[in-house]
Every structure is written in C-alpha cells, then in structure tokens.
Homo-oligomer: A and B are copies of this chain.
Amino acid sequence: MSREGETAGARDREFALRCPVPLPPGDTVLLGHGSGGKLTAQLIRDLFVPVLAGDGSELARLGDAAVVEVNGTRLAFTTDAFVVTPAFFPGSNIGELSVNGTVNDLAMMGARPLFLSAALILEEGLPLQDLGEVVTAMAEACRRAGVTLVTGDTKVVERGSADGLFITTSGVGVIPDGVEVGPERARPGDVVLVSGPVGSHGVAVMSRRAGIEFEAELVSDTAPLTELVHAMIAAGDVRCLRDATRGGLASVLNELAQASNVSITAIEAQIPVLAPVRAACEMLGLDPLYVANEGVCVAIVAPEDAEAVLAAARSNPRGEHAAIVGSVGEGPPKVSLRTGLGATRPLILLAGDQLPRIC
C-alpha cells in the first residue's frame, strides 16, 4: 500500500539487474517521457524495443497500430492509455476520447476498426455519475464509429493513488486486401496533407485547465476518422497516415521522416489553424504545430494522386478544411518549416511536453 513497502519490495526483488540495457541508477521517469517527443522516442528506442522486441520487430516499426496476420487476414491491433486532465473538457470527455483515439489508430493503418476493449482504473471516491457520463460517452462514440466494445476490466485504487480515472482502450480491425499504409512508405516527391485545422483539442483542454474562458468557443476536435481515411485511400496511393495527437503536427512529421528516412518541408502559410485557436495559442504561449489533435490526420500521398486524395478528403465532413501543407525530399530525416517570410527553420522534435496529460 505504502511507497515504503514498494521500495522495500524493489530492493530485494529477484529481477534485480536482469535488465539487459544499462539504466543509470538515480535516473527517474520524467513527465517528458510521456510527451510523444524526444524523451518518449528515447525510452522506446533505448529500453522498450531492445528489451521487448528487437530491431525489425512489429513493435520497432512504431506504427499507430501493429499489423499482424492471422489465418491469412491482416489485423491491426493497438492500445492507448488515456490520462487527460481534466477528464471533462470543452466539447468532450475522456470516454469519447478513449474510443476515438483507438479507432483512429486502427484507421491510420488503413484498417476497418471492429472491436474495442476498455480497462478502467478508477480512484476511490470518483462520483458514480461522472463514471456514468464517461461510459455513456464511450457508448455513443462506439456507435458513431461503428465499433463494438466487447470486453473490459475495472480496477479501483485508493484515494490519492490515481487522478480520477484512467482509461486504456485497445482495438482490433481488419486491413482490407490491397491497402498498404505504413510509416516507412514515404518517398521523395510525395505530398503532405493534413485533414483539418490543427491545435483545437490541446487548446480546448488547456483553456479549461487554465480556467480561461475565450470569447470564441474552443472545443476539442475529437472524432472518428475511419470514413475520411477510407475515402482518401480509395482516391489514390496514400503511403503514410498518422493522427496528429501528442506532440501535434510537428512531432508526427518528424516521426514519419524518421521512419521513412526522408526530409519533409512544411509550408507554414498552408497549415490550417482556426482563428480562435491561433489567438488562444498566442495568449497561452503555445505553438499550434505542437498542440495535440484528436480528429486530424497527416497523410503522405503519391504526387500524382495528391489532388484526388485532397478532393476526397474535402468531400468528408471531417476533412472539409483539408490542405496540402508540404512535400517530401531526400533524407537524412529532418523536418523544415518554410515561414510566411520565406525563411526556413527546422521543426524539431521537442524533448518534452508543451502540454502534459493532453490525452
């Protein structure tokens, strides 16, 4: 129960020193390790991949979902823990977010999401009505996304041992024959699209957290992207898809550049940002390109298909503000931003968080 007990347990644990990678004693987990930025990438590269899987494994591929084959069917399989604070924020809550997030991770591999699981970690004392509303939001989100929640688990921890509620959703989907999407498929000459204005989710949560009321209503963009994505895939060769969650557009571009060993140049003036989101970002000191989205994806598309894929995206309600925002060049992997003034600056992966616990 007590932290003392845990440390005592750790001292004489029998797994001591079995870990095959060096971890300096005294180093601890930082908030930035959960940021989706450079520290997260380091933890994955230096600990999780070598210990759990090895290079060349599906885990090391670092897709939004794993792709596995079972009896000739390609399944996408993914998991995400949601720890957003506050749990209720403008436009949505942690329940809807946890369903849409996993649905979108499956969609980003070109899959049709089918089945979801949910594991709830509840803090003793959580109002049952809050739980009821979160679960109701999950049910509504499942219906909207056309998925079925088939299994779950509930754990309760003592008051003070968790922050309200955490939800981990996992999902299984089927990748239709012929669909080939993966973070390593971008090539020089490809075109970069975003499906909608960036920054809305993070700013909505942050405004609530900071207790700021903006004149314009800022609401989370959380939404299922399955139909949008399949419309785009049907319209042309979509090489890579990724939903721009933690770390925002800039981090996702870096991940794709790394996975495909290419450079990416984004054009600042072409990146859609809603005016109130831009204003709120200025007030809060945030860069919208690094702010989390929960209903926006990045697509890297073959150049000859870019206009057709863009048109397909715009024909979907979730993609009406879709835009071409950049292009892919030769490696080594890096991301640059061409600013409104015509200058070019690197768009790096941040070490840690602009906004911790945003999803």
Q: Is B117 a contact of A78 with CB atoms below 8 Å? A: yes
Question: Is A350's CB within 8 Å of the partner chain B?
Answer: no
- How far is A29 from B125 in the complex, measured between Cα atoms in Å? 5
Number of copies: 2
What 11 new A-B contacts, CB under 8 Å, besides A32-B156, A70-B114, A79-B168?
A1-B85, A14-B91, A19-B133, A29-B122, A30-B124, A31-B156, A63-B151, A79-B151, A79-B153, A83-B121, A155-B357
Q: Is A28 a contact of B128 with CB atoms below 8 Å? A: yes
Question: Is A279's CB within 8 Å of the partner chain B?
Answer: no
Q: Is A81 a contact of B27 with CB atoms below 8 Å? A: no
The interface size of chain A toward B, counting residues with CB under 8 Å, comes to 116
Question: Is A293's CB within 8 Å of the partner chain B?
Answer: no
A335 CB to nearest B CB, Å: 23
Chain A residues packing against B (C-beta within 8 Å): 1, 3, 5-6, 8-10, 13-16, 18-21, 23-35, 40, 43-44, 47-48, 51-53, 57-59, 63, 65-66, 68, 70-73, 75, 77-83, 85-89, 91, 93, 95, 114-115, 117-140, 142, 148-158, 160-164, 166, 168, 170, 172, 174, 208-209, 211, 356-357
Tell me the nearest residue of chain B to A352, going by C-beta.
B156
Q: Is A157 a contact of B119 with CB atoms below 8 Å? A: no
- How far is A142 from B356 in the complex, measured between Cα atoms in Å? 31
